[in-house]
Amino acid sequence: MGVLLAFAAVAAGAAGQSNPAPTMTLFVDESQAPRQIAFVHEEIRVRPGVVALAYPKWIPGEHGPTGPISNFDALKVHCGGVALAWRRDPDDIFTIKVDVPQGADTITVDFDTLVENTISDHQLLLAWNTAVLYPLGIDKRQLMIAPSIELPPGWKQGSSLQVVSAVGDRVNFAPLSLERLIDSPVLAGEFFRAVPLKSQWPAELDFTGDSQAAIDKADDAHAFSLFGKLVDEDQAMFGYRHWEKLHLLISQSAARNFDGLEHEDSPWNSIDDAGLSKKDVLEATAFVNLAHEQSHSWCGKYRRPAELYSKQDYQGPERTSLLWVYEGLNEYIGFLLATRSGFNDQEYLRNWLAFTAANFAHEAGRATTPLADTATEDWVLRSAHGPWSSLRRGQDYYDEGALMWLEADVLIRTESRGSKSLDDFLKSFLGQRDTGPVVEPYTRADVETALNAVWPYDWHGFIEKHVYEVNDRPPVAGFEAAGWKLVYNATPSGPLWFSVFPEVPESFEGDSIGIEVQKGGKIYDVLPGSAAYAAGLGPSMTILAVDGTAYSVDALKVAIARPQNGRISMVVRNFDSVKTVEIAYAGGLRYPHLERIPGAHDYLSEILTPRSK
Ligand SMILES: [Zn+2]
């Protein structure tokens, strides 16, 4: 049967015409956003016959088939006022087919997007991929769309889209390609403000909040100054940019307090209610989130793995094995930029590096599973949490990737006697030259070639060892070369940025007896090879008593710090059974830290020092 690949080509423009006429319109009625529903209306030019329409499946930045198809509903298709029956492709539930009658050249499509784009009753983020059906098989760079949005009454919006007109609460944007549209979310809110940053490059902070106070107090923690410095540190690091003006979109809400997604010129982050006015919120979110999402403009958007940009539309599948560059290198870049621009101090970052390296050091899964595999199955690991995580491994390509890039940075600095650093690679590989928002794909070989151009070395062997081979050694060589070593002592690690999440353990005793414990004594995880594992403990058991005392975090710590005769006694409940276990352990409390190696050159502090003038 012939599925017409349906689509009339984009209207042929005169040679050199850069903005061909739109071939579809897209109107998203977000006026009911506080009720968590949006209404979509499209007019699409088609040819008669079977037309296949696609709901975006592989979402840029999410690195997987995560398009929220379950929230795409109430579909109606019309042609000349007559309803057309539609059917879903049983082989691909993201594809919808309709029979377009002879003589017709346009269909209208209406559907609802449920839940997806509401942040709170005062804010929304329209991610256009949740609100578009497009002709299957088109080239996302060629399909031109005229988009518009209806906002709730009186709300304002910020985005990198160009506003051509506004009537009441409806905003009409200039036509652009499907690819640029999906890369240009709209942040809107009842309480909204746009603040130009005092940076060398043109940039502005567009932000929302759940109250007027959250807007008015936004600079109490000097947020505007920090973001201005961040953009200046971008400039010092990359040298060139791939946008005209950067819109940093930030929503502040307790309802969605930690999230973010990269975009070429409008990265979005969500932080806690009134977070811009809180130093601890900025500190905890910058190195993993605020600095990270915006540096993806260079690492991930402009330069992107070719295997992750292999399809002309969004239906995939794409390959993700190079995420140790896209995310791992960008994680390292985020560490550098957040610290260099002053969101956090060096000690804060060192605590994180020590914590994450210690986690990898006792991760049993390293003995069987190379780092690259965590990238290859990234979107599965994204939704997998909880028991036996050290055997499954997690999205280790982020932070273990970052530790590898630290080692590469120090290697270049050491071998070149300080004349070169990874910053040279970042400028040549990710900065390159000023461009518009285009994608320059790369392969692993391109990465190795670019590293070699900065400093000749066996980079293929280096990457092979760290990423592609099973590697059960703790990834601490970078620290030691940088003048620091991973040590364990009884002083708790510093504040952990993810401690706000409800499921997160409140007691990390992985480096002593080998357990992590949630509120109420529920064991979150047990590390194979640890004393707790040997004693028969398992995830989801609840500790009722420790050494004859009812469970509390303090009672647990006292027992670990001073075990009687080298043994800790625990009463634990597992489903309906209760038992007593004896843990053989005499090592005391152990928490990871970085400690200076006396006499060694301190490269780490140099790496974290500001570059901008
Ligand atoms: Zn990222």
Q: Separation of 492 CA from ligand 1 center, angstroms?
A: 28
Report yes or no: 84 and 49 within 8 Å, Cβ to Cβ: no
Q: 262 exposed, middle or buried (CB, 10 Å; 0-12, 13-18, 19+)?
A: buried
Q: Separation of 175 CA from ligand 1 center, angstroms?
A: 28
Q: Separation of 396 CA from ligand 1 center, angstroms?
A: 12
Q: Separation of 536 CA from ligand 1 center, angstroms?
A: 38
- Cα Rg of the chain, angstroms: 26
What ranges do the domains of the chain cover? 3-188, 189-316, 336-485+599-607, 497-591
pLDDT at 564: 86
Query: How confident is residue 502, by pLDDT bands cut at 50, 70 and 90?
Result: confident
**Cα 306-376-441 angle, rounded to 5 deg:** 10
Interatomic CA distance for residues 439 and 450, integer angstroms:
17
CB atoms within 10 A of CB 613: 7
Could you give phi then psi for residue 530, rounded to 5 degrees?
A: -90, 170
Q: What is the mean pLDDT of residues 251-258?
A: 96
Topology at the third CATH level for domain 189-316: Neutral Protease; domain 2 (1.10.390)
Q: What DSSP assignment string belongs to 219-258?
A: TTT-HHHHHHHHHHHHHHHHS--S-SSEEEEEEE-GGG-S
Q: 77-94, pLDDT tens digit by residue? A: 999 999 999 999 999 999
Strands annotated E in 103-225: 106-114, 118-120, 123-126, 134-135, 144-150, 156-158, 163-167, 170-173, 176-177, 186-189, 191-196, 203-209
Q: Separation of 59 CA from ligand 1 center, angstroms?
A: 13
Handedness of CA 532, 534, 538, 541 (dihedral sign): negative
Q: Separation of 147 CA from ligand 1 center, angstroms?
A: 27
Handedness of CA 217, 220, 223, 228 (dihedral sign): positive
Residue 21 has pLDDT above 70, yes or no: no
Q: Say what percent of the chain tops pLDDT 90.
A: 92
Strands 303-305 and 440-442: parallel
Q: Separation of 43 CA from ligand 1 center, angstroms?
A: 34
The residue type of 308 is: L
Report yes or no: 414 and 603 within 8 Å, Cβ to Cβ: yes
Report yes or no: 497 and 480 within 8 Å, Cβ to Cβ: no
Query: How confident is residue 223, by pLDDT bands cut at 50, 70 and 90?
Result: very high
Q: Shortest CA distance to 255 belongs to which of 270, 269, 267, 245?
A: 270
Q: Separation of 600 CA from ligand 1 center, angstroms?
A: 33
Q: What is the mean pLDDT of residues 130-138?
A: 97
Report yes or no: 289 and 500 within 8 Å, Cβ to Cβ: no
Q: Separation of 379 CA from ligand 1 center, angstroms?
A: 13
Q: 268-281, pLDDT tens digit by residue? A: 999 999 999 999 99
| Ligand 1 ion: residues within 5 Å (CB) | 327
Residue 17 has pLDDT above 50, yes or no: no
pLDDT at 4: 30
Q: Separation of 590 CA from ligand 1 center, angstroms?
A: 31
Cβ partners under 8 Å of residue 69, min gap 6: 55, 57, 93, 94
Q: Which residue has the tokens 């006697």?
A: 417
Q: Separation of 324 CA from ligand 1 center, angstroms?
A: 11
The CA–CA distances, whole Å, from 272 to 148, 255, 519, 563 equal 29, 8, 22, 40
Residue 196 has pLDDT above 70, yes or no: yes
Cβ partners under 8 Å of residue 247, min gap 6: 158, 159, 160, 203, 204, 206, 265, 266
Q: What DSSP assignment string belongs to 373-437?
A: HHHHTHHHHHT--STTHHHH--STTTHHHHHHHHHHHHHHHHHTTTS--HHHHHIIIIISS--SS
Interatomic CA distance for residues 485 and 470, integer angstroms:
23
Q: Which residue has the tokens 């071939």?
A: 23
Query: How confident is residue 135, by pLDDT bands cut at 50, 70 and 90?
Result: very high
Q: Shortest CA distance to 514 belongs to which of 533, 501, 490, 491?
A: 533
Cβ partners under 8 Å of residue 439, min gap 6: 301, 302, 303, 304, 309
Architecture of domain 3-188: Sandwich (2.60)
Interatomic CA distance for residues 447 and 460, integer angstroms:
9
Q: Separation of 293 CA from ligand 1 center, angstroms?
A: 6
Report yes or no: 517 and 509 within 8 Å, Cβ to Cβ: yes
pLDDT at 501: 77
Strands 144-150 and 24-29: parallel
Residue 344 has pLDDT above 90, yes or no: yes
Report yes or no: 227 and 276 within 8 Å, Cβ to Cβ: no
Q: Say what percent of the chain tops pLDDT 70.
A: 96
Q: 53-76, pLDDT tens digit by residue? A: 999 999 999 999 999 999 999 999
Q: 522-554, pLDDT tens digit by residue? A: 999 999 999 999 999 999 999 999 999 999 999
Structure-token pair, residue 516: 């992590």
Q: Separation of 213 CA from ligand 1 center, angstroms?
A: 30
Query: How confident is residue 326, by pLDDT bands cut at 50, 70 and 90?
Result: very high
Residue 203 has pLDDT above 60, yes or no: yes
Superfamily of domain 497-591: PDZ domain (2.30.42.10)
Average model confidence (pLDDT) for the chain? 94
Q: What is the mean pLDDT of residues 119-147?
A: 97
pLDDT at 1: 37
Q: Separation of 345 CA from ligand 1 center, angstroms?
A: 21
Q: 158-183, pLDDT tens digit by residue? A: 999 999 999 999 999 999 999 999 99
Helix, strand, coil % over all residues of the chain, rounded to 5 = 30, 30, 40
CB atoms within 10 A of CB 11: 12
Q: Separation of 99 CA from ligand 1 center, angstroms?
A: 41
Residue 22 has pLDDT above 50, yes or no: yes
Could you give phi then psi for residue 85, rounded to 5 degrees?
A: -70, 145
Q: Separation of 400 CA from ligand 1 center, angstroms?
A: 14
Q: Report the 3 state secondary structure along 291-328.
A: HHHHHCCCECCCEEEHHHCCCCCCCCCCCCCCHHHHCH
Q: What is the mean pLDDT of residues 35-63?
A: 97
Q: Each residue of 138-167: b (16+ CB within 10 Å) or e? A: bebeebbbbbbbbbbeebbbbbbbeeeeee
Q: Separation of 292 CA from ligand 1 center, angstroms?
A: 6
Q: 346-401, pLDDT tens digit by residue? A: 999 999 999 999 999 999 999 999 999 999 999 999 988 889 999 999 999 999 99
Q: Separation of 607 CA from ligand 1 center, angstroms?
A: 21
Q: What is the mean pLDDT of residues 421-427?
A: 98
Query: How confident is residue 20, by pLDDT bands cut at 50, 70 and 90?
Result: low
Q: Shortest CA distance to 595 belongs to which of 354, 336, 346?
A: 354
Q: Separation of 472 CA from ligand 1 center, angstroms?
A: 25
Q: Separation of 148 CA from ligand 1 center, angstroms?
A: 28
pLDDT at 521: 97
Strand ranges of the sheet holding 577-584, from the earlier edge strand across to the other edge: 549-550, 542-546, 567-574, 577-584
Q: Separation of 124 CA from ligand 1 center, angstroms?
A: 21
